[in-house]
Amino acid sequence: MSATNDHTLIREQADRIVARGALGRSPTYVRLLEFLVACVGEGRTPKELEIAAQVFGKGPDFDPSQDSMVRVYAHNLRQKLNHYYTNDGRDEALQIAIPKGEYRVTIVSAETRPADETPIMRVGLTRLRLAAAAVVLVALAAAVGFVVGAGGNTGESGYGTVAASPIWSELFDDDLPVLVVVGDYFIVGELDEAGNVARLVREFAVNSSEDLDIFSMMDPERGARYVDLDLTYLARSTAFALRDLLRVIYTSDKPVTVVPMSDLDIEDVRTSHIVYVGYISALDKIIEFVFASSSLEIGDTFDELTNLETGDRYVSEAGLPADYRDYRDYGLFSTFPGPSGNQFVVVAGTRDAGLMHSAEAVSDPPYVRSIEQAVPEAIAAEPPAFELLYEVTGFDRTNLDAMLVHSAQLDFSEIWRGELLETD
């Protein structure tokens, strides 16, 4: 096979891999692969310094003995290729590979792929994918179960009354669509010594492919053990909370879209009503908006909140709940206008019990009436802008009882500060 044909076949495979999104959402791996493929066309193998300069924009002072960034990215790219050929590309007769310890792309047949380049262990990875996907299926099953079970009786069961409350009515009084944003967590695969994915890992500082790139540059030793599997997971309670909220939202004929936080486009912050459901720690792209005017501040961990006015601390005990005792958790509800006449509704919790109570508090008619009585001035404001914090008694990840421990109006002029007020 000639070098020209090799390059043509390699280019076709690389284009197919990029088009299928197998390299994740980070453009860095695309740039690296395209550069290595271009070098094949030129008949040469690039040096580490050249890759650092051409792909990563490093200057002449880059020292590969002190900075392993290029090696880390090459390792991760190799794993992404292996992952692709384990899954979507498993039927490809010809496969491209990056030999270990080298910065060149080769093409081999699937049957003759070297043993040290065997795709990531299929059985183990499949099990991990199924385990992660099961949580998503629980959420979908809960939502579908609601649709089937509700049978169009939302008005009869009181959800129409709830939708008419000032807590919700701002979402249904105009033509803007409703976007339900579900708090999800980005997870990575951790490689064992053989290069197989041994387990799924949640790094709190890594919430996207781009974050993983940065993490790998800041901590090359740990980053070299991680591979982007393009996976996220949902907390179990999100499914039940979503079910309760959809019962209210679907009393309207408005178009409703459900997206994970990881796929939220910041432009949606201006063009849709936003309903967030999930853990406080998964607020991610909108967390600064939620707490910009809040009397509450997130503590050292996302399981802790502090009241800035009173000094009271609210610490969840749900991190390691014992089967034989109850524990405290916290549920947060917040609503405030968006930057262009839209409305934000935030239904969150430090953990499962808190989240489930927050959803119940704003979807159950008796609870909604109690909110209206507890904060009448905030409810009467147009548009409403206030927050509530509940201390929830949890047992075995279930909310048993709750009491309101904090309420405050929000000054939404402090939230946006004119940053997103300009519209096209």
Cα separation, 116 vs 64, whole angstroms: 25
Same domain, 28 and 90: yes
Task: Please check whether residue 357 is in contact with residue 316, taking contact to mean a CB–CB distance below 8 angstroms.
Answer: no
Confirm whether 196 is domain-assigned. no
Hey, what long-range contacts does 132-135 have (CB within 8 A, 24 or more apart)? 132/187, 132/200, 132/231, 132/232, 132/233, 135/233, 135/234, 135/235, 135/236
pLDDT digits (tens, 9 = 90+) for 188-246: 888 887 777 889 998 877 877 778 888 888 888 888 888 888 788 888 889 899 999 99
314 Cβ neighbours under 8 A, 6+ residues apart: 304, 305, 306, 307, 330, 389, 391, 405, 406
Look up the CATH number of the domain holding residue 21.
Answer: 1.10.10
Number of domains in the chain: 2
Confirm whether 203 is domain-assigned. no
Per DSSP, helices labelled H in 226-286 are 236-249, 268-271
What pLDDT does residue 263 have? 84
Same domain, 355 and 274: yes
Q: Quote the mean pLDDT of the chain.
A: 82
Task: Please check whether residue 54 is in contact with residue 37, taking contact to mean a CB–CB distance below 8 angstroms.
Answer: no
Instruction: Report whether pLDDT(143) > 90.
Output: no
Q: Which of 96, 118, 140 is the last residue of a domain?
A: 118
pLDDT digits (tens, 9 = 90+) for 153-174: 444 458 899 999 989 999 998 8
Hey, what long-range contacts does 56-59 have (CB within 8 A, 24 or more apart)? 56/28
Average confidence (pLDDT) over 388-409: 89
Average confidence (pLDDT) over 65-73: 81
What pLDDT does residue 323 have? 59
CA 391 to chain centre: 26
Average confidence (pLDDT) over 351-367: 94
Confirm whether 206 is domain-assigned. no
Confirm whether 197 is domain-assigned. no
Same domain, 175 and 90: no
Tokens found for residue 267: 């432009």
Confirm whether 19 is domain-assigned. yes
Same domain, 278 and 408: yes
Confirm whether 124 is domain-assigned. no
Same domain, 81 and 173: no
Same domain, 112 and 163: no
Confirm whether 291 is domain-assigned. yes
pLDDT band at 322 (very low <50, low <70, confident <90, very high): low
Same domain, 82 and 173: no
Range of the domain at 272: 152-183+237-242+251-416
Same domain, 106 and 156: no
Confirm whether 134 is domain-assigned. no
Same domain, 114 and 156: no
Tokens found for residue 75: 């390792």
Same domain, 360 and 305: yes
pLDDT digits (tens, 9 = 90+) for 72-101: 888 888 888 888 888 888 888 889 999 888
Q: How far is CA 277 from CA 194, 237, 328, in A?
A: 39, 10, 20
Same domain, 276 and 374: yes
Q: For the chain, what percent of residues have pLDDT higher than 90? A: 41
pTM of the model: 0.68
Quote the DSSP letter at residue 118: P
Same domain, 109 and 156: no
Q: Which of 71, 93, 118 is the last residue of a domain?
A: 118
Q: Which of 118, 138, 166 is the last residue of a domain?
A: 118
Instruction: Report whether pLDDT(149) > 70.
Output: no
